[in-house]
């Protein structure tokens, strides 16, 4: 069979994939699983990213699949470093906020609940024989409300175990400060309003706390930025390589189409010439 006959439409009635079965199997083996993920990273999110990149690039063979795997891995690395940088800054900021709150949470009413809970636990272990848990909770409640008789009784009990009110008040305030900082990070409206009020009273802002907290982390942040830039550079280089490769394939395909069109013209002219000669 001649080359020209092989290009006739009837000779190639079905379009064949240029991806071999082996390449498809290799693609599943190589790219079916995500690379090693860190704790908290989502395997499903990785595969979603992989799927979207594959859709955008439309791979034609196993080489493209390899490029895509590299691009996705590098993009995942970029996202990872960005997330770690953000978490580092947020962690230091919340630590600074917690320290501020422990020093400025002067309103007893804000942590009264924790004081009462902690005091009740201590009283349960130190009340006179015959008194119950309910008695301990009732006494703690009265003391938390600053009732004089209850205060005197609690002070006597605490003195017997070498404690005083401040030994309970300070941990209660620290617990409330931690709770407020956590709620602030969760963007809970009540915590935001209270903290903004406390910061304003102290002539500060959350940005001021961040500025104070971050100098010790600037080296780490700078290193993470360099790693982000490096991963982005490698990712962009891989994308350019894919573009270059597809441009070459596109040019080769264009030439092939032109050749095929030429062969089609020959196939069509030959029967017509024969019929005319007859």
Q: In this prediction, what percent of the chain has a pLDDT beyond 90?
A: 36
Q: Mean per-residue pLDDT for 32-53?
A: 80
| pLDDT tops 90 at residue 127 | no
Q: Are 7 and 262 in contact, with CB atoms under 8 Å apart?
A: no
Q: Write down the pLDDT at residue 9.
A: 41
Q: How many Cβ atoms are within 10 Å of 100's Cβ, its own excluded? A: 21
Q: Write down the pLDDT at residue 190.
A: 92
- Identify which of 206, 240, 227, 209 has the alpha carbon closest to the alpha carbon of residue 84: 227
| pLDDT tops 70 at residue 240 | yes
Alpha-carbon distances of 36 from 76, 87, 244, rounded to whole Å: 11, 20, 29
Separation of alpha carbons 208 and 199, rounded Å: 10
Q: Write down the pLDDT at residue 60.
A: 84
Position with higher pLDDT, 253 vs 30 = 253
Six token digits for residue 164 = 């005083």
**How far is C-alpha 277 from the chain's CA centre?**
76
Q: Write down the pLDDT at residue 28.
A: 43
DSSP state, 202?
T
Q: Write down the pLDDT at residue 105.
A: 86
| Low-confidence winner among 1-15, 76-90, 100-114 (lowest mean pLDDT) | 1-15
* Mean pLDDT (the chain, rounded): 81
Q: Mean per-residue pLDDT for 115-129?
A: 85
Q: Mean per-residue pLDDT for 207-232?
A: 93
- Identify which of 94, 99, 81 has the alpha carbon closest to the alpha carbon of residue 210: 94
Separation of alpha carbons 250 and 246, rounded Å: 6
Q: Write down the pLDDT at residue 24.
A: 44
DSSP state, 217?
G
Six token digits for residue 75 = 């993009």
Q: Write down the pLDDT at residue 272.
A: 52
Q: Write down the pLDDT at residue 261.
A: 67
Q: Are 158 and 165 in contact, with CB atoms under 8 Å apart?
A: yes
**What pTM, to 2 d.p., does this model score?**
0.66
| pLDDT tops 70 at residue 73 | yes
DSSP state, 105?
-
């Amino acid at each position: 069979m001649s080359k020209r006959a092989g290009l006739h439409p009837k000779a190639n009635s079905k379009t064949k994939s240029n991806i071999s079965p082996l390449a498809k199997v290799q693609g599943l083996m190589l790219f079916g699983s995500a690379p090693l993920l860190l704790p908290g990273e989502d395997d499903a999110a990785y595969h979603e990213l992989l799927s979207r990149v594959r859709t955008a690039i439309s791979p034609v063979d196993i080489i493209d699949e390899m490029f895509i795997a590299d691009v996705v891995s590098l993009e995942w690395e970029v996202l990872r470093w960005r997330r770690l940088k953000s978490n580092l800054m947020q962690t230091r900021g919340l630590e600074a906020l917690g320290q501020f709150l422990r020093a400025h949470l002067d309103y007893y009413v804000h942590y009264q609940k924790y004081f009462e809970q902690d005091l009740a636990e201590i009283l349960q272990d130190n009340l006179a024989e015959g008194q119950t848990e309910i008695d301990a909770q009732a006494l703690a409640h009265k003391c938390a409300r600053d009732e004089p008789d209850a205060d005197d009784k609690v002070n006597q009990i605490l003195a017997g175990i070498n404690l005083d009110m401040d030994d309970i008040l300070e941990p209660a305030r620290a617990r409330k400060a931690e709770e407020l900082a956590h709620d602030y990070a969760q963007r809970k409206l009540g915590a935001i309003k209270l903290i903004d009020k406390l910061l304003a009273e102290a002539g500060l802002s959350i940005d001021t706390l961040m500025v104070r907290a971050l100098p010790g982390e600037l080296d780490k942040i700078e290193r993470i930025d360099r790693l982000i830039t490096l991963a982005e550079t490698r990712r962009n280089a891989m994308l350019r390589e894919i573009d270059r490769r597809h441009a070459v394939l596109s040019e080769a395909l264009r030439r092939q189409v032109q050749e095929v069109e030429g062969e089609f013209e020959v196939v069509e002219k030959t029967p017509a010439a024969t019929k005319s000669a007859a």
